Amino acid sequence: MNNVSTSLTASELVVAYSTGELSPVEATKVALRAIEEHDQKYNAYCLVDPEGALAQAKLSEARWRDGNPIGGLDGVPTSIKDMFLTQGWPTLRGSNCIDANQPWDVDSPVTARLRENGLVLLGKTTTPELAWKAVTDSPRTGITRNPWDASRTSGGSSGGSAAAVAAGMGELSVGTDGGGSIRIPASFCGIVGFKPTHGRIPLYPASPFGPLSHAGPMARSVDDIALLLDILATPDHRDPAALAPPVGTYREAVRRDVRGLIAAFSPTLGYVDVEPEIATLVAAAVTKLAEAGLQVEETDPGFTDPLDAFGVLWSTGAAKWLSTFPEGSDKLVDPGLRRVWEQGLTYSASDYLDANAERAALGIKMGEFHTRYDVLITPTMPISPFEAGHDVPPGSKFEGWPEWTPFTYPFNMTQQPAISVPVGFTTEGLPVGLQIVGPRHSDDLVLAVAKLLEEVLHS
C-alpha cells in the first residue's frame, strides 16, 4: 500500500477522545510523525507547524478531559490548502510572485471556522500556482506525489490535501474546487472529496474564478465529510454569495434513507472516453446501489461538452488575478499558467458574458434534468493517475488539463453539489472514484447517497 494510512477516521477519533481511549495530543503526534516519515516522499505540505499543532492539541485535550469540547471535531488533526488565508502563516499559493514577508493577520472564513471549533491545524498543503490546474506541482513547492504510487500524480489542484489525508498525515483537510480540484485528487488518491453547492462554504477574499469556485471538505469517510461540512457551512459577512445556514445538520442528514430515489447513471455523459477498468469498477458499484434499493436508470443528461465556455471563464479569471501581480511576473509563473494568462487577455467582455450565459443555460438544463432524477452518477475520472510532473498524460492527445477531467468541470459551471467516493482499484493498484451529483442545494441528499454507496461497498 506504499505507506497509505489505515489509521482511524475523524469520526472514530472523536469517539476515542470521548471515552478517554485516545487524546488529541496522541493523535496529533501520530499525524506529525507521519508527516516526518512520509512527506519528503509525497510533498503534500508546504508548511508544517509542530509546536503550534501540539499547543492546540493540549488545549483540546483539557477540554475533552473536562467534558467541554467546543465542536464535533475538537482536537482532530487537520490541514488546509495554501489557498486560504491563515493568520500567522503565509498564504503563498504556490507562487514565487507572492512575498512571504508581509503581514498575515487575517483568517479566511474556512480557517476561522476550523479554529472556532477546536480542530488542530497541522499546516498548509501544496497547490499548483494559484490552483490553476488539475495536477499539483508549482515553481515554489515542486511536485506532489500520489501515496499509492509515488511516481504518479496526486491530481490537483487540492493534491496536497488529498495526499495528506490518504497517507495519514492528518485525518481531514479543506480544499478548493474550481473545475474538479477536490474531486480529481480525491479520486486519484482514494479518499472522499466533496464540492458542495456554490456559496455553501463562504470564501474570502473572493476568487477571480468567480462562480466556478467552491471550497470543500476532504476525508477518508462520508461521515467525516458531513461532520466537517457542519462546521464550514456557516455564513460569513465577507462573502456576499454565502448561503443561509442549512436546516438541520449534515451529520444527521447523511443517514437519510435514500432507497427508492431515482438515480441517473451516465457512464460517459454521452461524449467521454473512459478507461475500461474504471468503467467496470464504477458500473459494479452502481449495480450494488441498485441492489440496495436505489432506482437506477442509465441515461445521459443531454448536454454537449462545455469545454470552450469553461476555458473562457477560467482563463479570464486567471488573467484578472495575474494582472495584480508585480511587473515581470510573467517570467516567474508556471509556463502553463502564463499561457492561460495570455489566452485570457485575448477575450472581450462580450466573450465573457457569452460564456457566462452558456454556464447559466447549462445550469437550467441540469435543473430540469433533476426534476426527473434525484441524482446523477458518473465516474469521477476517465483515466488513472499518470506520471507526476506533467500537466497532461505523457503521449496523450490532450493539450490542457480540462480535456482529461471532463466529468468534473461542468458541475462547477452549474454550481451543483458533487462528491467523489472511492469504489476500488485498478489492477495496478491505483484508486478509482465514482461521482454523485445532485441539484443545487441538495448537499444533504448527495451525502446520503454517498453514505449508502460507502455502506454497500464495505458490507
Q: List, by residue number, the catalytic residues.
A: 81, 157, 181
d(CA 50, CA 279): 42
- Identify the DSSP state of 387: B
Contacts of 400 (CB under 8 A, 6+ apart): 311, 391, 392
Contacts of 220 (CB under 8 A, 6+ apart): 5, 9, 10, 165, 166, 171, 191, 192
DSSP string of 311-362, one letter each residue = HHHHHHHHHHHHTTSPTTGGGTS-HHHHHHHHHHTT--HHHHHHHHHHHHHH
Nearest to 417 by CA among 355, 363, 357: 363
Is the Cβ–Cβ distance between 130 and 118 less than 8 Å? no
Is the Cβ–Cβ distance between 175 and 161 less than 8 Å? yes
H-only helix segments in 20-79: 24-42, 50-65
C-alpha cell at position 217:
471538505
Is the Cβ–Cβ distance between 75 and 119 less than 8 Å? yes
DSSP string of 402-437, one letter each residue = GGG-TTTTHHHHTT--EEEEEEEE-TTS-EEEEEEE
C-alpha cell at position 5:
494510512
Give the side-chain half-sphere CA count within 13 A for 387: 6
Is the Cβ–Cβ distance between 345 and 319 less than 8 Å? yes
First-to-last C-alpha distance (Å) of the chain: 22
Is the Cβ–Cβ distance between 44 and 65 less than 8 Å? no
Is the Cβ–Cβ distance between 175 and 408 less than 8 Å? no
C-alpha cell at position 272:
467521454
